[in-house]
Amino acid sequence: MKKSLLLVISLLALSFLPNTYAHNLKGAIASDDRTPKNVVRDVYRNPYQTLDFFGIKTDMTIVELSPGGGWYTEILANYIHYPGTLIAAHHNPEGGGYYKRSRENFEKKMDSNPMYGRVEIVDLDSSLADPNSVDAVLTFRNLHNWLGPLMDTIFSNSYTALKPGGIFGVVEHRANDGTSMEMMKKSGYVTEAHAIMMAEKHGFELVAKSEVNSNPKDIKNYPKGVWTLPPNLRMKEVDREKYLEIGESDRMTLLFRKPL
Protein backbone atom coordinates (compact mmCIF):
# COMPACT_ATOMS: atom_id res chain seq x y z
CA MET A 1 0.00 0.00 0.00
CA LYS A 2 2.78 2.36 0.96
CA LYS A 3 4.64 1.57 -2.30
CA SER A 4 1.52 2.24 -4.36
CA LEU A 5 1.03 5.60 -2.64
CA LEU A 6 4.64 6.56 -3.32
CA LEU A 7 4.24 5.59 -6.99
CA VAL A 8 1.16 7.78 -7.37
CA ILE A 9 2.91 10.71 -5.69
CA SER A 10 5.95 10.26 -7.93
CA LEU A 11 3.83 10.19 -11.10
CA LEU A 12 1.96 13.31 -10.03
CA ALA A 13 5.22 15.11 -9.33
CA LEU A 14 6.59 14.15 -12.73
CA SER A 15 3.46 15.43 -14.44
CA PHE A 16 4.27 18.96 -13.25
CA LEU A 17 7.84 18.92 -14.51
CA PRO A 18 8.68 20.42 -17.92
CA ASN A 19 8.44 17.60 -20.45
CA THR A 20 11.32 18.47 -22.74
CA TYR A 21 10.89 15.22 -24.65
CA ALA A 22 7.42 16.33 -25.77
CA HIS A 23 8.90 19.44 -27.35
CA ASN A 24 10.67 17.75 -30.22
CA LEU A 25 11.37 19.41 -33.55
CA LYS A 26 9.31 17.03 -35.66
CA GLY A 27 6.37 17.58 -33.33
CA ALA A 28 6.69 21.36 -33.63
CA ILE A 29 6.70 21.11 -37.42
CA ALA A 30 3.67 18.82 -37.39
CA SER A 31 1.76 21.00 -34.92
CA ASP A 32 -1.81 22.09 -35.68
CA ASP A 33 -0.80 25.55 -34.45
CA ARG A 34 0.90 26.17 -37.78
CA THR A 35 -0.93 28.07 -40.52
CA PRO A 36 -2.04 25.65 -43.29
CA LYS A 37 -0.71 27.90 -46.07
CA ASN A 38 2.70 27.81 -44.38
CA VAL A 39 2.70 24.03 -44.03
CA VAL A 40 2.36 23.48 -47.78
CA ARG A 41 5.69 25.26 -48.27
CA ASP A 42 7.62 22.73 -46.17
CA VAL A 43 8.50 20.87 -49.37
CA TYR A 44 10.57 23.90 -50.45
CA ARG A 45 11.79 25.18 -47.10
CA ASN A 46 12.71 21.85 -45.47
CA PRO A 47 12.37 23.14 -41.89
CA TYR A 48 13.35 19.92 -40.12
CA GLN A 49 16.51 19.34 -42.14
CA THR A 50 17.45 23.03 -41.97
CA LEU A 51 17.04 23.49 -38.22
CA ASP A 52 18.66 20.12 -37.56
CA PHE A 53 21.64 21.17 -39.67
CA PHE A 54 21.92 24.37 -37.63
CA GLY A 55 21.84 22.31 -34.42
CA ILE A 56 18.87 24.11 -32.90
CA LYS A 57 17.80 22.72 -29.50
CA THR A 58 14.65 23.29 -27.47
CA ASP A 59 16.41 25.06 -24.57
CA MET A 60 18.37 27.58 -26.64
CA THR A 61 18.08 31.36 -26.66
CA ILE A 62 17.67 32.24 -30.32
CA VAL A 63 17.40 35.45 -32.32
CA GLU A 64 15.38 35.16 -35.53
CA LEU A 65 16.33 38.09 -37.76
CA SER A 66 13.54 39.77 -39.72
CA PRO A 67 10.91 37.02 -39.29
CA GLY A 68 8.44 38.69 -41.68
CA GLY A 69 5.04 37.08 -41.28
CA GLY A 70 6.41 34.44 -38.90
CA TRP A 71 6.81 31.37 -41.10
CA TYR A 72 9.72 30.01 -39.09
CA THR A 73 8.50 31.69 -35.91
CA GLU A 74 5.51 29.32 -35.83
CA ILE A 75 7.90 26.37 -35.64
CA LEU A 76 10.52 27.90 -33.36
CA ALA A 77 8.00 29.27 -30.84
CA ASN A 78 6.43 25.82 -30.52
CA TYR A 79 9.83 24.16 -30.18
CA ILE A 80 11.64 26.55 -27.83
CA HIS A 81 10.81 26.01 -24.16
CA TYR A 82 12.22 27.09 -20.79
CA PRO A 83 14.97 27.99 -20.23
CA GLY A 84 15.08 28.82 -23.93
CA THR A 85 13.79 32.07 -25.41
CA LEU A 86 13.00 33.17 -28.94
CA ILE A 87 13.86 36.78 -29.78
CA ALA A 88 12.19 38.06 -32.93
CA ALA A 89 14.15 40.99 -34.39
CA HIS A 90 11.47 42.64 -36.52
CA HIS A 91 11.21 45.92 -38.44
CA ASN A 92 11.45 49.09 -36.41
CA PRO A 93 7.90 50.52 -36.55
CA GLU A 94 9.32 54.04 -36.54
CA GLY A 95 10.24 53.38 -40.17
CA GLY A 96 6.55 53.86 -40.96
CA GLY A 97 4.66 52.53 -43.97
CA TYR A 98 5.36 48.89 -44.77
CA TYR A 99 7.70 48.51 -41.78
CA LYS A 100 5.06 49.67 -39.32
CA ARG A 101 2.28 47.54 -40.88
CA SER A 102 4.48 44.46 -40.98
CA ARG A 103 5.50 44.89 -37.33
CA GLU A 104 1.89 45.42 -36.23
CA ASN A 105 0.73 42.31 -38.08
CA PHE A 106 3.52 40.27 -36.51
CA GLU A 107 2.65 41.54 -33.02
CA LYS A 108 -0.99 40.57 -33.60
CA LYS A 109 0.15 37.09 -34.52
CA MET A 110 2.24 36.87 -31.36
CA ASP A 111 -0.82 37.89 -29.29
CA SER A 112 -3.06 35.30 -30.97
CA ASN A 113 -1.77 32.13 -29.32
CA PRO A 114 -0.24 31.30 -25.90
CA MET A 115 2.38 29.32 -27.84
CA TYR A 116 4.16 32.63 -28.46
CA GLY A 117 4.55 33.32 -24.75
CA ARG A 118 8.35 32.91 -24.84
CA VAL A 119 8.80 35.21 -27.83
CA GLU A 120 10.39 38.60 -27.21
CA ILE A 121 10.21 41.25 -29.95
CA VAL A 122 13.04 43.72 -30.54
CA ASP A 123 13.90 46.10 -33.38
CA LEU A 124 16.03 44.68 -36.18
CA ASP A 125 18.27 47.76 -36.06
CA SER A 126 18.82 47.39 -32.30
CA SER A 127 21.60 45.59 -30.43
CA LEU A 128 19.32 42.48 -30.53
CA ALA A 129 20.31 41.15 -27.08
CA ASP A 130 22.86 41.55 -24.31
CA PRO A 131 26.44 40.79 -25.38
CA ASN A 132 27.40 37.11 -25.23
CA SER A 133 23.88 36.03 -24.23
CA VAL A 134 22.50 34.20 -27.29
CA ASP A 135 23.05 30.62 -28.45
CA ALA A 136 22.03 31.08 -32.08
CA VAL A 137 21.10 33.77 -34.60
CA LEU A 138 19.12 32.67 -37.66
CA THR A 139 18.12 34.42 -40.86
CA PHE A 140 15.97 33.04 -43.65
CA ARG A 141 15.95 34.69 -47.11
CA ASN A 142 16.84 38.18 -45.90
CA LEU A 143 20.36 39.00 -47.07
CA HIS A 144 19.21 40.53 -50.37
CA ASN A 145 17.22 43.11 -48.37
CA TRP A 146 20.30 44.13 -46.41
CA LEU A 147 22.91 44.54 -49.15
CA GLY A 148 24.93 47.59 -48.15
CA PRO A 149 25.62 49.20 -44.74
CA LEU A 150 22.59 47.59 -43.09
CA MET A 151 24.14 44.14 -43.48
CA ASP A 152 27.25 45.33 -41.66
CA THR A 153 25.13 46.59 -38.78
CA ILE A 154 23.06 43.41 -38.48
CA PHE A 155 26.03 41.04 -38.79
CA SER A 156 28.02 43.05 -36.24
CA ASN A 157 25.16 43.13 -33.74
CA SER A 158 24.55 39.41 -34.25
CA TYR A 159 28.19 38.63 -33.53
CA THR A 160 28.15 40.73 -30.36
CA ALA A 161 24.94 39.15 -29.06
CA LEU A 162 26.17 35.58 -29.56
CA LYS A 163 27.97 33.63 -26.89
CA PRO A 164 31.44 32.39 -27.83
CA GLY A 165 30.79 29.22 -29.81
CA GLY A 166 27.29 30.42 -30.72
CA ILE A 167 25.98 29.69 -34.20
CA PHE A 168 24.90 31.95 -37.04
CA GLY A 169 22.63 30.15 -39.52
CA VAL A 170 21.95 31.65 -42.95
CA VAL A 171 19.51 30.61 -45.67
CA GLU A 172 19.42 32.83 -48.76
CA HIS A 173 18.49 32.85 -52.45
CA ARG A 174 21.75 31.80 -54.16
CA ALA A 175 23.12 33.79 -57.09
CA ASN A 176 25.50 32.31 -59.61
CA ASP A 177 29.20 32.88 -58.92
CA GLY A 178 30.39 36.22 -60.24
CA THR A 179 27.01 37.96 -60.09
CA SER A 180 27.53 41.71 -59.66
CA MET A 181 26.30 43.66 -56.65
CA GLU A 182 23.95 45.61 -58.91
CA MET A 183 22.40 42.39 -60.20
CA MET A 184 22.18 40.92 -56.68
CA LYS A 185 20.18 43.94 -55.56
CA LYS A 186 17.97 43.79 -58.63
CA SER A 187 17.36 40.04 -58.72
CA GLY A 188 17.13 39.18 -55.01
CA TYR A 189 19.82 36.49 -55.34
CA VAL A 190 23.11 36.76 -53.37
CA THR A 191 26.32 34.87 -54.08
CA GLU A 192 27.70 32.45 -51.52
CA ALA A 193 31.03 34.25 -51.80
CA HIS A 194 29.49 37.55 -50.71
CA ALA A 195 27.58 35.99 -47.81
CA ILE A 196 30.71 34.22 -46.57
CA MET A 197 32.89 37.31 -47.03
CA MET A 198 30.48 39.45 -45.00
CA ALA A 199 30.23 36.90 -42.19
CA GLU A 200 34.00 36.44 -41.98
CA LYS A 201 34.48 40.22 -42.11
CA HIS A 202 32.58 40.42 -38.83
CA GLY A 203 34.48 37.60 -37.15
CA PHE A 204 32.42 34.50 -37.93
CA GLU A 205 33.96 31.18 -38.94
CA LEU A 206 32.34 29.08 -41.67
CA VAL A 207 31.60 25.65 -40.19
CA ALA A 208 29.63 23.88 -42.93
CA LYS A 209 27.41 24.20 -46.00
CA SER A 210 24.29 22.19 -46.81
CA GLU A 211 22.44 21.61 -50.09
CA VAL A 212 19.18 20.81 -48.33
CA ASN A 213 17.52 23.92 -49.80
CA SER A 214 19.02 23.72 -53.27
CA ASN A 215 16.85 23.72 -56.40
CA PRO A 216 18.64 22.82 -59.67
CA LYS A 217 15.53 23.82 -61.68
CA ASP A 218 16.06 27.48 -60.74
CA ILE A 219 17.83 29.22 -63.67
CA LYS A 220 17.94 32.56 -61.77
CA ASN A 221 17.13 34.68 -64.80
CA TYR A 222 13.56 35.96 -64.67
CA PRO A 223 11.72 39.17 -65.61
CA LYS A 224 11.09 40.11 -61.98
CA GLY A 225 13.99 38.40 -60.29
CA VAL A 226 13.46 35.80 -57.58
CA TRP A 227 9.97 37.21 -56.98
CA THR A 228 8.92 35.72 -60.34
CA LEU A 229 8.92 32.31 -58.66
CA PRO A 230 6.45 31.12 -56.01
CA PRO A 231 5.27 32.16 -53.56
CA ASN A 232 5.25 35.70 -55.01
CA LEU A 233 4.54 34.88 -58.68
CA ARG A 234 4.81 38.55 -59.68
CA MET A 235 4.16 37.74 -63.33
CA LYS A 236 0.69 36.65 -62.17
CA GLU A 237 -0.83 34.49 -64.93
CA VAL A 238 2.06 34.90 -67.39
CA ASP A 239 3.88 31.55 -67.54
CA ARG A 240 2.40 30.73 -64.15
CA GLU A 241 2.54 26.95 -64.62
CA LYS A 242 6.17 27.12 -65.73
CA TYR A 243 7.19 28.99 -62.58
CA LEU A 244 5.13 26.70 -60.36
CA GLU A 245 6.93 23.76 -61.93
CA ILE A 246 10.30 25.31 -61.08
CA GLY A 247 9.17 25.88 -57.49
CA GLU A 248 10.81 28.16 -54.95
CA SER A 249 14.34 29.47 -55.37
CA ASP A 250 17.67 27.70 -55.15
CA ARG A 251 19.06 28.54 -51.72
CA MET A 252 22.38 28.39 -49.93
CA THR A 253 22.33 27.09 -46.37
CA LEU A 254 25.40 28.17 -44.41
CA LEU A 255 26.43 27.47 -40.83
CA PHE A 256 28.82 29.91 -39.15
CA ARG A 257 30.14 30.07 -35.60
CA LYS A 258 31.45 32.78 -33.29
CA PRO A 259 34.90 31.50 -32.25
CA LEU A 260 35.35 30.25 -28.69
CA triple 89-134-149, angle to 5 deg? 50
pLDDT in tens, 125-147: 999 999 999 999 999 999 999 99
- The pLDDT, as a whole number, for residue 245 is 98
- The pLDDT, as a whole number, for residue 15 is 41
Give the pTM.
Answer: 0.91
Q: Give me the tens of pLDDT residue by residue for the chain, a chain 260 residues long.
A: 443 443 333 334 434 434 434 479 999 999 999 999 999 999 999 999 999 999 999 999 999 999 999 999 999 999 999 999 999 999 999 999 999 999 999 999 999 999 999 999 999 999 999 999 999 999 999 999 999 999 999 999 999 999 999 999 999 999 999 999 999 999 999 999 999 999 999 999 999 999 999 999 999 999 999 999 999 999 999 999 999 999 999 999 999 999 99
CB atoms closer than 10 angstroms to residue 226: 23
Q: Which amino acid is at 74?
A: E
Domains of the chain: 20-221+249-257 (3.40.50.150)
